[in-house]
A and B are shown apart, each in its own frame.
Chain A
Amino acid sequence: MPPREGIYGLLAEFNTPGELVHATKEAHRVGYRRMECYTPYPVEEAAQALHFHKTRVPLVCLIGGILGVTTAFLMETWINVWAYPLNIAGRPLFSWPAFIIPAYEWTILFSGFSACFGMLALNGLPQPYHPLFNAANFRNGATTDKFFLCLEAMDPMFSPTETRAFLEQFSAVSVVEVDH
């Protein structure tokens, strides 16, 4: 848990995604690592500037899918062969072609749930409180039309004065301090 006191970071506000990406690239080049961009829609170039490429969402989804297909197929087999065997017009108890259909549906069900909830879990959501919500300009723009770069105080390179000077050299609308 990061300490809940002092400043969380410095937040620079930009008007265009291009300016944000440029500032992020520079910050990464200079050596800042604990930083994050905030945009009103996905900006792939910002992720590249942050050197964030891999997500584990597809892996979680795959595991969910495998779990779904095995759960459903084993459940059907156990039910129709051992737990409650019924003779339906002389068909074999282990009618695996028929079992494929519910197993197929549960593959999708489990992997879909894993993709969605896995994404939320990896993102650390739900998270009703976040220090950034303390910044008035963040709440006003981050989900509408402004682009933000936050350099966090946890970064070893962070210094309230030098980092601010670093951010101010870009065409930021404002650079504000965000409290915890």
Chain B
Amino acid sequence: MATKGPIEDPMIDPMIDPRTGEYAVIAPGHTFKSVTQEIAGIVLTSNTPLGWFFGLVVAAGVAMGLVIGCTWLFLKGVGIWGVTIPGAWGFAIINFVWWIGIGHAGTLISAILLLFKQQWRNSINRFAEAMTIFAVCCAGIFPLIHVGRPWLAYWLFPYPNTMNVWPQFRSPLAWDVFAVSTYASISVIFWYMGMIPDFGTLRDRAKMPLAKYFYGLLALGWRGSTRHWIRYESASLLLAGLSTPLVLSVHTVISFDFAVAALAGWHTTIFPPYFVAGAIYSGFAMVITLAIPIRKFYHLEDLVTLRHLDNMAKVMLGTGLIVGYGYAMEVFMSWYSASHWEFFMMWNRMFGPMGWAYWMLILTNLAIPLTTLWSRKLRVNVTYLFILSFIINTGMWFERFVIVVTSLYREYLPSSWGTYRATKWDYMIYFGTLGFFTFLFFLFIRFLPMIPMSEIRMMLPQTKVTPRSKIAEVVSEEES
């Protein structure tokens, strides 16, 4: 993905590699010690920045929306939401798909880019994985509270019970349970395994007894033994290889929730690839939303460089084009299928009472990003990318809204047409999950190493093993 842009003057910006004209992945001049200190220092410092407390409190306040909303929901039932017949699926499923999609970029970065040996991913890998897990936490809430009696949600799992009732495995909703629970478990395992060597570092560098004890427990006695490292690397590669088909399957299974139904607008074979591409699109936007303030606040511009932002913007451009192709194909097929209902659905989606949502989606998901991301200047413009990441995630939310609502509210029989209007509880719970996500993320950046130290060390030039004969030369050169 290396496009060589014009180099204004490489002498001015030390971050630009003069050989390639690309921004460096790590700022030059770092040593094993300096990267370790820079990353571990954020966690092990005894004076937490005030801004962190402020952010945590604000996020916790917003997350209260989730607590209050869910409490009222459990007392009253799903009738407090805007879901009715025919719009039986509303915000809950929209938010579920949106959040799961956001998580996908984390797995893509940690697994697929690892298999492709994209070393630049190392700096953003850890917090992208954390984002995945927190996004899956938020996503998982929605189907559980949508079942109506969430205290019986464990019925979704196949377990021996006295009622002798078992799940029905021909239903995409049962597949969802397996896909999402596997996704959450494997993401947690991959994330934790990746942190074990870093916990070792934190254990050894911690000064406070409590931190020593806490990170010592989490490190499981890691000591960097070479035999351990080889098995560890082998397990990481295997997990990456397993996560790759997993991440593609999860959104595929979620798209089956729609595609298997015989409803115009849902019953289409393009859903799996287009859901996955959309998921990665919105996920990368979320990584950018998180990475830009973090690198600024913690002065990590050395490790999360403009190269990372540039590359992520390119991935968004690529996946955005796939999403655009998906939209185009939906419109084309509604005409080419010669199905009256398909045609009406698309007309209603574009020009019906909720047509504004469709055009909002086209504007925020296609028109703005796909025209501007071609420019390298804008791809490395931090402010622009930050704003754009919000625009894209709004667009992706509208995509799910359009798919769920506009297909449902005017289906085959005009006599059963209705509308959909979200209530304040819908909004409260949705914004509550945004707060909850941010809250978890604040805890993560304070207490866990947000950039994988061992992987960053591997990217430094010092890692090269020089043959014995050359060591003497290097030493003598340095001395002279």
Write the residues of chain A forming the contact surface with B, with a CB cutoff of 8 angstroms: 16-19, 21-22, 36-47, 50, 52, 55, 57-58, 61, 72, 75-76, 79-80, 83-84, 86, 88, 91, 95, 98-99, 101-102, 104-106, 108-109, 111-113, 115-116, 118-120, 122-123, 125-130, 132-133, 138-140, 142-145
Q: Is A50 touching B238 in the complex (CB atoms < 8 A)?
A: no
Determine the distance from Cα of A22 to Cα of B189 in the docked complex, in whole angstroms. Answer: 35
Cβ of B218 to closest chain A Cβ, rounded Å:
10
15 extra interchain contacts, Cβ-Cβ under 8 A, other than A79-B166, A98-B170, A144-B205?
Answer: A18-B471, A22-B471, A41-B463, A52-B226, A57-B234, A76-B169, A79-B169, A104-B245, A105-B253, A116-B190, A123-B225, A123-B231, A126-B220, A143-B203, A143-B222
Known: A17-B465, A140-B204. A128 touches B221 (CB 8 A): yes
Q: Mark B17-48, 1 if CB is under 8 A from A, else 0.
A: 00000000000000111001000000000000
With the chains together, A44 CA to B31 CA distance in Å? Answer: 20
Complexed CA–CA distance, A102 and B411 (Å): 30
CB distance from B328 to the nearest CB of A (A): 28
A43 touches B229 (CB 8 A): yes
A133 in contact with B457 given A99-B169, A112-B239 (CB within 8 Å): no
User: Which chain A residues border B171 with CB–CB below 8 Å?
Assistant: 88
B200 sits at the interface (CB 8 A): yes
Verify A83–B33 contact, CB threshold 8 A.
Answer: no
Chain B nearest Cβ from A98, distance in angstroms: 4
The reply to whether A18 and B32 form a contact with Cβ atoms under 8 Å apart is no
B454 near A95: Cβ-Cβ < 8 Å:
no
Which candidate, B97-105, B172-180, B362-370, is the interface stretch facing chain A?
A: B172-180
Complex contact A111–B238 (CB within 8 A): yes
- Shortest Cβ distance from A72 into chain B, in angstroms? 8
Docked-complex contact A37 and B189, CB < 8 angstroms: no
B157-183: contact bitstring with A at CB < 8 Å (1 yes, 0 no)? 010000011111111001100110110
Cβ 8 A contact of A17, one of B165, B232, B463 = B463
Instruction: Identify the closest chain B residue to A103 (Cβ).
Output: B178
- Give the residues from 329 to 381 in chain B that come closer than 8 angstroms, CB to CB, to chain A: none
- Alpha-carbon distance A11/B317, docked complex (angstroms): 52
Q: Are A125 and B229 within 8 A (Cβ)?
A: no
Residue of B nearest to A77 (CB): B169
Task: Known contacts A17-B463, A47-B229; decide if A115 and B179 are in contact (CB<8 Å).
Answer: no
Are B174 and A80 in contact, with the CB atoms below 8 A? Answer: no
The answer to whether B253 touches A132 (Cβ under 8 A) is: no
What residues of chain A lie closer than 8 Å to B227, measured between beta carbons? 36, 47, 50, 52, 123
